[in-house]
Amino acid sequence: MKNVFPEPGFFTELAARIARDPELPRLGVFDATFGLRVLPDSGGAGPLVILTFDGFVLSDVRRVDGAPPADVDFVLEAPHAVWRDLLRDPRSQTINTLTHHGAPMQVITTDPLGHDKLFRFQESVQRVFEIAATIT
């Protein structure tokens, strides 16, 4: 398995690094299930990788095709180039900056309660991408 975003090996390594990270639990409980989708340059929707955080641990990583399951609070969706730039420099290209105007990254959600979890756990979500940036 390659440790290249968004291949499965990347998320295996991400889970291992998250488990070792002292900063993420220091930010507080993190109860959210969110998806990451890389939009193919050829159009259409790529596979969805879903991360579930339960309290202080990343409890599940799964891949699904098609629409997000009902338990997903929000999905972050962007072309590969946007994800690549985020993972190169997550401190200047923050998740909030990328999603604020609906571009270049979109937040897909059907429930305001789920959408607001992106803001309730903003620093934790941001921290996940800071950890992810250490892999590539």
Partner 1 sequence: MAYNAPIDFLADAEFLEGFRRVRRGELSLDWMDAKTERVKVRPKDPRRGLTYTDLEVGSYSTERIPEVIRHTATMAPRGAELPPGLPDMGYIVNRKSEVWADNVLTLYEESKTRQWNAATDIDWSALDQYAVPPDLEKAFAQVCTFLSEVEMIATDLPAKWISRINHDFVELKSLLCMQTVDEARHTEVFRKRALAGGVGLLQASVYAEHALKGILESDTYTQASVFLHMLGEGFILSTFRNGEAIAPTPVDKKIFRLVMQDEARHVTYGMMHLRYFLQENPNRAEEIHLMLDEAETLMIGALGSPELAEPLVILAGKGTGKAEIARGIELTTQFQLTAIMEYFRRLERAGLTGRPERSKFTRLLTLIG
Q: Does 97 bind partner 1 (CB under 8 A)?
A: yes
**CA dist., res. 47 & res. 55, Å (int):** 26
Q: Does 119 bind partner 1 (CB under 8 A)?
A: yes
| Nearest alpha carbon to residue 45 among 108, 118, 116 | 108
Smallest separation, CB 48 to partner 1 (Å): 23
Stretch that binds partner 1, among 13-21, 36-44, 74-82, 107-115 (CB under 8 A): 107-115
Pairing of strands 74-79, 32-39: parallel
Q: Does 20 bind partner 1 (CB under 8 A)?
A: no
| Nearest alpha carbon to residue 62 among 71, 76, 52 | 52
Q: Does 100 bind partner 1 (CB under 8 A)?
A: yes
Q: Does 112 bind partner 1 (CB under 8 A)?
A: yes
